[in-house]
Structure 1
Amino acid sequence: MKRLLMTLMLLSAGTSCLAQDVDDVAKQLSNPISSLISVPMQFNFERGAGLDGEGERLRLNVQPVIPMSIGEDWNLISRTIVPIIDQQDVFPDGSRQAGVGNTLQSLFFSPKELTPSGWTWGIGPAFLLPTASDERLGSDRWAIGPTVVALRQTRDGWTYGGLANHLVSVGGGDDRDINATYLQPFVAKRISPGRTVSMSLEASYDWESQDWTAPLHLGISQVIPARRQMFSIQGGVFRYLESTPGAADWGLRFTLTLLYPKR
């Protein structure tokens, strides 16, 4: 009987520790400038693109996030987004394009300590690299500008904040100039160990054409501890609240994130 009780106690303690671990990782995953190394592979399906509304787009964003300590007080967080795109009937000629889009590289300098009110923040440069394999998948212009993120996480599982950048072209080919602002307010809530619901608005404003693009994303994610690799899966939907002519109406998102928490 004593052995049985001891075994149950050990199993209970192990389950409690596991729940605490996945909950802590889920908390870090909601923070784009945490000390967690992650490799999200974000799959997006968009429907309703093109002037006739029949176009479809598949986009896989590979976006590794790598934090590095640069002293006792500061971290440097590298965040890269490489889009791989396959689209059909987006342009009036009904053509198909498949390949790599432009790469966005962001660097955030972030203090290791929270502010007295519990906020964490990061600021640094962002670079748009003309890596597009097709002129219809991205601009051939280089662009640079500032990027900033700020967020607060509460003890009861809430995360809220925002990320922003502004990019201006600095050289490259013959495409029109880039002058665009990106704003991403977000809120997330952990609802059970390792499980999080989230909402974000990924809005961008083109100062050249004076057009907004603003999809609203809703999603739910779960951190899953595996024997050799911890990972997270997320599923969600998005709807464009504002878009340019020919843009998609709605879409689906699925994200698989490989996680490498500090031991």
Structure 2
Amino acid sequence: MRHSTGRLHASFGILALATASLAPQCALAADDAELAKQLANPIGSLISVPFQFNYDQGQGPTNGQKLMMNVQPVIPFALSEEWTLITRTIVPVAWQNDIAGNSGTQFGLGDTLASAWLSPKSTETSIGALTWGIGPSATFATSTDRRLGSGTWGLGPTAIALVQNKVGSGTMTLGALVNQQWGVAKTRSNQPDLNNTLLQPFLAYTTDTAWTYSLNTESSYNWTSSEWAVPINLSVSKLVSLGSQKAQIEAGVGYWAVSPTNGPTGIRGRLAVTFLFPE
């Protein structure tokens, strides 16, 4: 009887140790899923620094190609318990070859886009947690070559709205971002007027294991040339730990459903890594 009692105590001890060792892992998985959910929200209260690489081809009469790296830090500022100001700056660094006929190779900066959204605390609705934001955006004429950007300073409004809701064991995110830019000053002669509208609807599903599957289109309309550019993008991403640094790794493909004159065509590729700095 004494031996049975000892074995029973030992069994409970092993079970307790196993439970204790699993608890931190479960907590970490839950934390990762929550961070991935916040990343699916473009105006979430989370400091992040994405490095996004996009490859496009079939551009111009000689089927030029372009590799673009967008560095786009997102920084929220808590103004009160109810309101947050979220800033995002997109700095493009591009390499391209023969995108305008036999135009050779260019490497340098494109024009920078900075946006800020004033956003209230999310509210629960019948379709999920609603988050919205509105504010100004500006284009900075930072392009180092006329073939890398318009070289035009621009201003305009931007707005975003999205809902997040529990679906199964994960979270569904559905929303749209809009942005309008009007040119206010040109730094180069013979450049067309800047008058562009960006419409970016997006859909994402984040699992409880911090995988995110996304579908979006970064559609833009050029009012000066009366042309649409509509790439449709599919991607999958995973939140990981790089030592003590949290990061999200993303890979995706896209297709140019509508392309402007001399614009990219066919299949496109995307790779990205986003570094997270949670409080």
Superposition TM-score, scaled by structure 2 size: 0.90
1:36-115 equivalent positions in 2, closer than 5 A: 36-53=46-63, 55-114=64-123
2:138 is equivalent to residue 127 of structure 1: yes
Count of residues paired in the alignment: 261
SS of 2:162's equivalent in the other structure is strand
| Partner Cα distance (2:207, 2:23) in 1 | 21
| Counterpart selection for 2:153 from 142, 150, 153 | 142
Deviation at 1:71, TM superposition (A): 1.9
SS of 2:94's equivalent in the other structure is strand
SS of 1:155's equivalent in the other structure is strand
Uncovered stretches (5+) of structure 1, i.e. residues with no partner: none
| Partner Cα distance (1:44, 1:176) in 2 | 25
1:138-176 Cα distance to aligned partner (Å, 9 max, x none): 112110000000000001210000000010011123322
The aligned amino acid for 1:20 is A
SS of 2:166's equivalent in the other structure is coil
1:179-216 Cα distance to aligned partner (Å, 9 max, x none): 11000000001234110100001000000100000000
Matched-pair contact (CA < 8 Å) for 2:250–2:273: yes
Deviation at 1:51, TM superposition (A): 1.4
1:210 maps to which residue? 226
2:181 is equivalent to residue 167 of structure 1: yes
Aligned-pair RMSD on alpha carbons?
A: 1.2
The aligned amino acid for 1:141 is T
Deviation at 1:115, TM superposition (A): 5.4
| Partner Cα distance (2:241, 2:23) in 1 | 16
Deviation at 1:227, TM superposition (A): 3.5
Uncovered stretches (5+) of structure 2, i.e. residues with no partner: 1-9
Runs of 4+ in 1 over 3 A off after TM superposition: none
| Partner Cα distance (1:226, 1:52) in 2 | 41
Matched-pair contact (CA < 8 Å) for 1:51–1:245: no
Structure whose CA Rg is larger: 2
Distance change in 2, residues 1:203/1:224 (3 Å): same
Matched-pair contact (CA < 8 Å) for 1:22–1:225: no
1:41-82 Cα distance to aligned partner (Å, 9 max, x none): 0011112112132x1111000000000011232100010100
2:19 is equivalent to residue 9 of structure 1: yes
Matched-pair contact (CA < 8 Å) for 2:33–2:207: no
| Partner Cα distance (2:38, 2:24) in 1 | 21
2:272 is equivalent to residue 255 of structure 1: yes
